[in-house]
Chain A
């Protein structure tokens, strides 16, 4: 049989698809990416995820909040209904908002949005707290999110009115 009469794959130095079937196999990859390596990576992932929770506990232990101080916010006479005033509580790094709602209630919350920490404002017309960054809405009566991306409520600042002066006396993170 002459070479021309042979099937393509039987000819000399052919590149027929049925020849060299192992050319696409890479021995190094075969050794690197296999079932055993996958399981080892999975174990590493699991351990890494487990260890990743430790810093949160350490930070929680170091940063346990102590008793809160009584801090004057404003005079009640300076805050008519439908108005709000910005203050910082419990530290200078924690912006907060005291709202005298249109219904006459006094409400105070830390004003950093629980989504991405943008400042929250009081919208008198709708009687809501609004985060303008991503249109997050909070109920002014309890600080809970009503619309938009925020999932957690705003920390509640406990207030006291004494002789016409509004004081901040404490803070609750999870409430209502």
Chain B
């Protein structure tokens, strides 16, 4: 994948995580614990994808 693809993925993960954090807080305040755990898992997967994309981007970016 190209560098721009990694940029896109990382920006997308930020958007997902902002939404998930908002929904998590809402679910927590509403005591909707089942969906809260779902949002939490999605958020952590998204963070993992962001990290993985970053390492892949770094490999491409710093290769001569």
Secondary structure at the B interface, as helix, strand, loop or mixed, is helix
Chain A interface residue count: which class?
A: 20 to 34
List chain B residues, Cβ under 8 A from A57.
24, 36-37, 40
Chain B proximity of A77: nearest CB distance (Å): 34
Kindly supply a per-residue 1/0 record for chain A positions 35-48, scoring 1 wherever the CB is within 8 Å of any chain B CB and 0 otherwise: 01001101101110
Complex contact A60–B54 (CB within 8 A): no
Complex contact B37–A49 (CB within 8 A): no
A65 interfacial contact with B, CB 8 Å: yes
Chain B proximity of A65: nearest CB distance (Å): 7
- Can you offer 22 A-B residue contacts whose CB atoms are under 8 A? A36-B61, A39-B10, A42-B10, A43-B10, A43-B50, A43-B53, A43-B54, A46-B17, A46-B50, A47-B50, A49-B18, A50-B46, A50-B47, A50-B48, A50-B50, A51-B47, A53-B21, A53-B44, A56-B24, A56-B36, A57-B36, A60-B36
A59 interfacial contact with B, CB 8 Å: yes
Contacts A46-B46, A50-B43 given; does A65 touch B31 at CB 8 Å = yes
Binding site for A on B (CB under 8 A): 7, 10-11, 13-14, 17-18, 20-21, 24-33, 36-37, 39-40, 43-44, 46-48, 50-51, 53-54, 57, 61
Contacts A49-B14, A52-B21, A56-B24 given; does A173 touch B47 at CB 8 Å = no
Alpha-carbon distance between A76 and B27 when the two chains are bound, in angstroms: 35
Complex contact A46–B14 (CB within 8 A): yes
